[in-house]
Amino acid sequence: MRTAEFAGPTGAQPDPDLLEWDHGGYEGLTAERIREARPGWDLWRDGVIPGDANHPGEELAQVAARTDAVLDRVRPLLSEGDR
In angstroms, the CA 60 to CA 74 distance is 21
Question: Are the C-beta atoms of residues 25 and 55 closer than 8 Å to each other?
Answer: yes
Mean pLDDT over 38-61 rounds to 96
- Give tens-digit pLDDT for 12-48: 788 899 999 999 999 999 999 999 999 999 999 999 9
pTM (two decimals): 0.75
